[in-house]
Chain A
Amino acid sequence: MASLITCPHCGTRPKEEFSVRGAVIARPSASEKDEAWHRYVYVRDNPKGRYQEYWHHAAGCRRWLVVNRDNLTHEVFGVTDAQASREGSR
């Protein structure tokens, strides 16, 4: 039920310790056109199934995390540190 989230820094914790920011979307550069910023701020793919979200471990390590889960079955596939996963994708 996505009730337990395994934080890479703190271990398995109840989900109430976290706050959810929303979909993982690449931030456009400041010089991008309005259309790119509109898509980033307002438009969501909103898939049914696998979803990646930014969660903040507000009552723990206070790190930003990427939670990879299924929004229909509530299965959690993996949790990584947001900065580490961004550096990994570079």
Chain B
Amino acid sequence: MRYSALSIIKQALSGNRRWTPAWREPEPKPHYDVIIVGGGGHGLATAYYLAKEFGITNVAVIEKGYIGSGNVGRNTTIIRSNYLLEGNNPFYEMSLKLWEGLERDFNYNAMVSQRGVLNLFHSDGQRDEYARRGNAMRLHGVDADLLDREQVRRLAPYLNFDHGRFPVMGGLLQKRGGTVRHDAVAWGYARGADARGVDIIQHCEVTGIRRGPGGEVEGVETTKGFIGCNRLALAAAGNTTTVGRMADLALPIETHVLQAFVSEGLKPVIDNVITYGAGHFYISQSDKGGLVFGANIDYYSSYAQRGNLATVEETMQEGVSLIPGLSRAKALRAWGGVMDMSMDGSPIIDRTPIDNLYLNAGWCYGGFKATPASGFCFAHLIAKNETHHVSRFMRLDRFERGYVLDEGGKGPQPNMH
């Protein structure tokens, strides 16, 4: 069923009793051309683009929980392409362009809102660094505006401009950045993939990877039995190591927990996405009115989808330091998700040394904004066995070759990225 204003009126006239489910719940077939492990944003986007752009429809997405139950439903929903490095910027800009046309493309309301992403700076050195990044963005054809203190004040008068230690001196604004309704991204991609013949198999956990005589992948053992495939694609963020170990993959990844928070609903106050340059705090206001915010990971390796109270305290301190009025808002909910922290802070979209096995991993805590480009590039790789040119810096062997993609310049320490 195609969604439109007319379909809403028609359904309303029949008492909204004739809506059909947005996707099927099929039993697995014995064999597929491609199996994707992980029914999150990236896995579903991969399936969608495989079917739509590359004509491969005999595809299954296998998800151990329900689709969208992982990080695509647990993030702070920010989209942007304000990256410095040549290996990153064109990739994230491709993603932002796909976001801009996404709702028409998959006929689903994902509430893409280009409200602008503003990175604040608090020192002369930081201004120089942001100007450099803004220039790099513009050289790649991406919009970037360096704002002074008064321009920031007009956008966000509630900030703590005269902070004793970290005064707001200005900011780097990307107007095309913004937020997206995260769950709707998973649902929209799932519906679009399903309509093109992709089987989305929920509540089915992969328990093993079956290898042939030459070491090539032949299929997966699951809680619903063996399913064969020509190509196996892993998009199991947070659990990449657990799945990768089934095929003896050695990975440059450590799993960490990141927390996010939402306040009680407030009247519209924060129009943009705002990030604090003196710490690592980011905040926006959802369409329901809740302030959605987060800060750093918890620093120690963790597979638990819950975080530490010290990090909660640090996040709140950063928030109140930037926006004093935040101290009057009540935090409503806090939650944690597990992240693939890679050793250079950048993702991996590549073939593996094992035949028929493809990897999409290491998104750290920046994977949501990348969802469309990640799906598109991964689908390109699986379909053509060839890296898409915008993801060519995201190879698995870059660590061995000495070509790390370290946007933050932090070195091989996963908890610092």
Knowing A1-B309, A22-B413, A34-B400, the reply to whether A43 touches B251 (Cβ < 8 A) is yes
A63: chain B residues at CB < 8 Å are: none
On chain A, which size bracket covers the interface?
20 to 34
Knowing A20-B300, A48-B303, the reply to whether A15 touches B414 (Cβ < 8 A) is no
Binds A, one of B43-51, B65-73, B102-110, B252-260: B252-260
Partner of B304, one of A15, A20, A23, A74: A74
Q: List 22 A-B contacts (CB under 8 A).
A: A2-B308, A3-B309, A16-B310, A20-B299, A20-B415, A21-B413, A22-B254, A22-B415, A34-B400, A41-B343, A41-B399, A42-B400, A44-B254, A46-B241, A46-B251, A48-B255, A49-B303, A71-B300, A71-B301, A71-B303, A74-B302, A74-B308
In the bound complex, what is the Cα–Cα distance between A21 and B301 (angstroms)? 10
Min distance, Cβ B310 to any Cβ of chain A, angstroms: 5
A83 on interface, CB distance cutoff 8 Å: no
* Proximity string of chain A (1-22) to chain B, C-beta cutoff 8 Å, 1 when within and 0 when not: 1110000000000111001111
A21: chain B residues at CB < 8 Å are: 413
* Proximity string of chain B (318-351) to chain A, C-beta cutoff 8 Å, 1 when within and 0 when not: 0000000000000000000000000100000000
Knowing A1-B308, A3-B310, A42-B399, the reply to whether A22 touches B414 (Cβ < 8 A) is yes
- Extra contacts, 16 of them, besides A1-B309, A23-B301, A51-B301 (Cβ < 8 A), are A2-B308, A3-B310, A15-B310, A20-B415, A22-B414, A38-B399, A42-B400, A42-B412, A44-B343, A48-B255, A48-B303, A49-B303, A53-B301, A71-B300, A71-B302, A72-B303
A85 on interface, CB distance cutoff 8 Å: no
A45: chain B residues at CB < 8 Å are: 241
In the bound complex, what is the Cα–Cα distance between A16 and B310 (angstroms)? 7
Tell me whether A44 and B251 are in contact (CB under 8 A): yes
DSSP majority for the B interface? mixed
Tell me whether B308 and A3 are in contact (CB under 8 A): yes
A27: chain B residues at CB < 8 Å are: none
A43: chain B residues at CB < 8 Å are: 250-252
* Proximity string of chain B (282-318) to chain A, C-beta cutoff 8 Å, 1 when within and 0 when not: 0000000000000000011111100011100000000
In the bound complex, what is the Cα–Cα distance between A44 and B399 (angstroms)? 13
A86 on interface, CB distance cutoff 8 Å: no
Min distance, Cβ B57 to any Cβ of chain A, angstroms: 34
Min distance, Cβ B378 to any Cβ of chain A, angstroms: 21
In the bound complex, what is the Cα–Cα distance between A84 and B254 (angstroms)? 26
* Proximity string of chain B (233-251) to chain A, C-beta cutoff 8 Å, 1 when within and 0 when not: 0000000011000000011
Interface residues, chain A, with chain B CB atoms under 8 Å away: 1-3, 14-16, 19-23, 34-35, 38-39, 41-49, 51, 53, 71-74
A46: chain B residues at CB < 8 Å are: 241, 251, 253-255, 301
Min distance, Cβ A54 to any Cβ of chain B, angstroms: 11
A72: chain B residues at CB < 8 Å are: 302-304
A2: chain B residues at CB < 8 Å are: 300, 308
Tell me whether B304 and A73 are in contact (CB under 8 A): yes
Tell me whether A44 and B415 are in contact (CB under 8 A): no
In the complex, which of the residues A15, A35, A41, A46 has the most CB atoms of chain B within 10 Å of its own CB atom? A46
In the bound complex, what is the Cα–Cα distance between A87 and B242 (angstroms)? 32
Tell me whether A44 and B252 are in contact (CB under 8 A): yes
Per CB-CB distance, the 8 closest pairs between chain A and chain B, nearest first, are A46-B241, A42-B399, A42-B252, A48-B303, A42-B343, A72-B303, A71-B301, A44-B254
Min distance, Cβ B135 to any Cβ of chain A, angstroms: 31
Chain A residue, CB-CB nearest to B311: A16
In the bound complex, what is the Cα–Cα distance between A71 and B309 (angstroms)? 16
Tell me whether A41 and B412 are in contact (CB under 8 A): yes
A16: chain B residues at CB < 8 Å are: 310
Partner of A48, one of B242, B252, B299, B300: B242
Partner of A19, one of B251, B253, B299: B299
B301: chain A residues at CB < 8 Å are: 22-23, 46, 51, 53, 71
A20: chain B residues at CB < 8 Å are: 299-300, 415
B308: chain A residues at CB < 8 Å are: 1-3, 15, 74
Chain B residue, CB-CB nearest to A67: B300
Chain A residue, CB-CB nearest to B397: A38
In the complex, which of the residues A23, A34, A35, A44 has the most CB atoms of chain B within 10 Å of its own CB atom? A44
